[in-house]
Structure 1
Amino acid sequence: MKARILVAGLLTCLSYQHSTAAAGLQKATTSYVADNYAQTKYPIVFAHGMFGFNRLGNAEFGLDYWYQVLPDLARHGATAYAAQVSPLESTEVRGEQLLQQVEEVIALTGQPKVNLIGHSHGGPTARYISGIRPDLVASVSSVAGVNGGSAVADLVQNTPLLTGLLAQVVNTLVAPVINFAQQSNLPSDFKASIYSMSQAGVMVYNTKFPLGMPTTSCADGAAQAKGIYFYSWTGIANTTNLLDPDTALTALGPVAFSGKANDGLVSKCSSKLGKTIRDDYRWNHFDEVNQILGLRDYLFSPDPVSVYRQHANRLKLQGL
């Protein structure tokens, strides 16, 4: 009963945004175009990670998952979309949802392929498309992708309290709130999500979808396979800005990963896919998508928005 009351209260708080919340694909928009620096041949489609969304709320007052990234790309000539997949589900379920939106982008733009960029669980989700429909994919770029599994997912999966009570709370409370805020009705399965990102789950997944994956631990994978280009980058910082709320979720990275380089939720080695652009940014797992609200270590880390812009230019120069 208490959980239902709490859900109702949270939904009420968000209800003022409900009528204008984003649904399905979110296209990058801008009031002006400065240049064509990021104008890739094929449109770019972004896939969010666990607990993710494309936008919570409306365009005026909402929060984009890829904070300030898509509008910047649009200002530099890119055609970009943020996909909306289940915040909590298996990689295969999320992959099928993403595939439908990739097909929608292809229909809207008239282009035969897309460039996919996935963060966290969005990395393996994007790889699903390259595995079952390689003809629709020009490139896959994985940002701190859980391509080799996560020690945090293993910890949760091996703790009965977390897989029991926490799963029930998340499925009945957190996921519905995210769905409501982005005006969607996507399925939610916390246990399936955690298993998909555990080392055991990823091992099974990678045997089905090996394209771009390293054959040697912590090494680069194939930069190109079946005509698809693969790239990856990640951060390896845990505490970057004490004023940044996301530090509370990443500060225990050294403990969870036994001192191995990580961004608080994904290790450097696990993030590898195709050609490594860089694997030592001073970012935590949320800084990689410019969250929360752009807070990060301003002195020793580059602006994530500029990194995405540079990568779009890289794809452009590659003819993608």
Structure 2
Amino acid sequence: MTALLCRALRGFIAACAALALWQAAHAGTATQTRYPIVLVHGLFGFDSALGVDYFYGIPDALRRDGAKVYVAQVSAANSTEVRGEQLLAQVKTILALSGAAKVNLIGHSHGGPTARYVAGVAPQLVASVTSVGGVNRGSRVADIMRGVAPAGSVSEAAANTAAKALVSLINVASGGTSLPQMPTAALDSLTTAGAARFNQRFGAGVPSSGCGSGAELVNGVRYYSWTGTRTATNLLDLSDAPLALLGLVFGEANDGLVSACSSRLGKSLGDYSQNHLDEVNQLLGLRDWFATDPVTLYREHATRLKGLGL
């Protein structure tokens, strides 16, 4: 009996040692995708402002587990095409610096269509496009602000003045002062009509109708999306109140700025208890503590892309 126990103990110790060796060998590689990940900010966004990342805590979390991550900086407010050309130039620079053949683009909000533009004009440079709360079929909020929908439309002059003031503040804080800004062009791109015009040229992955998934693989590029469907998620988050008010204009599931149906692109990876800012772990990580951590979603997706050889 004693000899049997000893053999069992030695076997257990050997198994533990093998597991430890396997974990050591694979530590820090869970998100190590074949191609670099490029994060693309949305309307009025930035890469980092006053030391705070737009994608709060997300680049570091991905890098810790092996991913090579770049954060793009495009115009805070401009048309999808202008932002797309800026992103394309940055992608080419990233490829030159990294030696990679392609990139994985992950865009939030207006960053979704911006990434889709690059995949549309240069699919050979893009392995995947992932849209997080992306404005892929327009936003009712943009419709209202541009006066093409009822319920509180504001004048173009007032909208432009307020938007330019916000953009100026973002530029000073983030170092993007050299980039051209045109808030009304940005809003035009994000209206339902503007998104429809864009989709006529760059419709890969966009569902033809309804609220389902679109094509996952188009022209060698894989398309994915996820979104939030709550507007108020944390009492301490000052952004929740305005997002909750904006969410009332939709009449369907939304994150405060984009409806769940409009956000669909390629294979839908789910709807979560997040609002539009929670989707990038803002403000400063305040969110629904009982729901999925936004950072976890990015890590899981990087692991998914790795598993696909991307």
Structure-2-length-normalised TM-score: 0.88
Q: What SS does structure 1 have at the residue aligned with 2:305?
A: helix
- Structure 1 counterpart of 2:266: 274
2:303 maps to a residue whose letter is: N
1:242 pairs, out of 232, 235, 241, with 235
What is the CA–CA distance in structure 2 between the aligned matches of 1:163 and 1:170, rounded to whole Å? 10
- Residue 319 of structure 1: SS of its match in structure 2? coil
Whole-Å separation in 1 of the counterparts to 2:283 and 2:27: 26
- Contact (CA 8 Å) 2:144, 2:154: kept in 1 or not? no
Q: Confirm or deny that 1:182 pairs with 2:174.
A: yes
Aligned to 2:159: 166
Query: What CA distance in whole angstroms lies between the structure 1 residues aligned with 2:155 and 2:64?
Result: 43
Give matches, 1:128-207, under 5 Å. 128-158=117-147, 161-171=154-164, 173-184=165-176, 185-207=178-200
Pick aligned residue for 1:297 from 263, 288, 292 = 288
- What SS does the aligned partner of 2:236 have? coil
Aligned length: 280
Structure 2 distance, partners of 1:254, 1:64, is 25
Gaps of 5+ in 1: 1-32
Alignment correspondent of 1:224: 217
CA distance in 1, matches of 2:193, 2:44: 21
Give the AA of the match of 1:257.
F
Q: Distance in 2 between matches of 1:205 and 1:103?
A: 23
Compute the displacement of 1:160 (Å): 6.2
**What is the deviation of 1:254?**
4.2
Partner SS, residue 179 of structure 2: coil
Aligned-pair Cα RMSD in Å = 1.3
Unaligned runs of 5+ in 2: 1-25
Percent identity, aligned pairs only, is 51
State the structure with more CA Rg: 2
Does residue 316 of the first structure (1) align with residue 306 of the second (2)? Answer: yes
TM-score, with structure 1 as normaliser: 0.85
Distance (Å, rounded) in 2 between the aligned partners of 1:130 and 1:101: 13
Deviation, structure 1 residue 174? 1.8
Match of 1:263 among 255, 264, 267: 255
Could you say if the C-alpha distance between residues 263 and 161 of structure 1 is closer, same or farther in structure 2, counting changes exceeding 3 Å?
A: closer
The answer to whether the Cα contact below 8 Å between 1:38 and 1:73 also exists between their aligned partners in 2 is yes
Corresponding residue of 1:66: 55
1 CA distance for matches of 2:299 and 2:208? Answer: 30
Note if contact 1:253-1:263 (Cα within 8 Å) is conserved in structure 2.
Answer: no
Match of 1:83 in 2: 72
- Residue 34 of structure 1 contacts residue 75 of structure 1 at CA under 8 Å; is this kept in 2? no
Which runs of structure 1 show a deviation greater than 6 angstroms over 4 or more consecutive aligned residues?
none
Q: Which amino acid aligns with 1:117?
A: I
Change (3 A) 1:222 1:167: same
Deviation at 1:261, TM superposition (A): 0.3
Counterpart in the other structure of 2:30: 37
Aligned mates of 2:57, 2:125 — CA distance in 1: 27
Q: Distance in 2 between matches of 1:165 and 1:273?
A: 33
CA displacement, residues 185-222 of structure 1 (integer Å, 9 cap, x when unaligned): 21111110111000010000000101111112212110
Partner of 2:95: 106
